[in-house]
């Protein structure tokens, strides 16, 4: 449920983003999110103590922290959020 909220917030930022092609970003993010979730499920299955939303949220928060104060904040957040999903580093989950 948290991942849906996160995605909704990010999509809300899309309205502010000018330089990024919104439709392309949405497609890329959807693909990356599905692939990362599948990788997570393959690695952890239903094991307790591993939560996909927490894992991705923590990584995303660290990635976008440096966007604060950036003149193109929305674009920075969108690009880094996409990168987190594409890299899908599950080592800290």
pLDDT in tens, 28-74: 999 999 999 999 999 988 778 888 888 899 899 999 988 887 678 88
Q: What is the pLDDT of residue 75?
A: 84
Residue 85: how many other CB atoms lie within 10 Å:
23
Q: What is the pLDDT of residue 25?
A: 85
Q: What is the pLDDT of residue 20?
A: 59
Q: What is the pLDDT of residue 88?
A: 94
Instruction: Give burial (CB, 10 Å; 0-12/13-18/19+) of 69.
Output: exposed
CA trace torsion 46, 57, 37, 67 (10° rounding): -170
Residues 53, 51: Cα–Cα separation, whole Å? 6
What angle, rounded to 10 degrees, do the helices at 2-14 and 73-87 form?
140
């Amino acid at each position: 449920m948290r991942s849906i909220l996160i995605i909704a917030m990010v999509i809300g930022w899309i309205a502010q983003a000018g330089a990024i092609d919104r439709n392309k970003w949405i497609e890329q993010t959807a693909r990356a999110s599905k692939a990362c979730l599948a990788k997570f499920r393959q690695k952890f299955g239903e094991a307790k103590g591993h939560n996909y939303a927490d894992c991705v949220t923590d990584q995303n928060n660290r990635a976008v922290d440096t966007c604060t104060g950036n003149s193109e904040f929305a674009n920075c957040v969108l690009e880094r959020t996409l990168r987190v999903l594409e890299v899908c580093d599950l080592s800290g989950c």
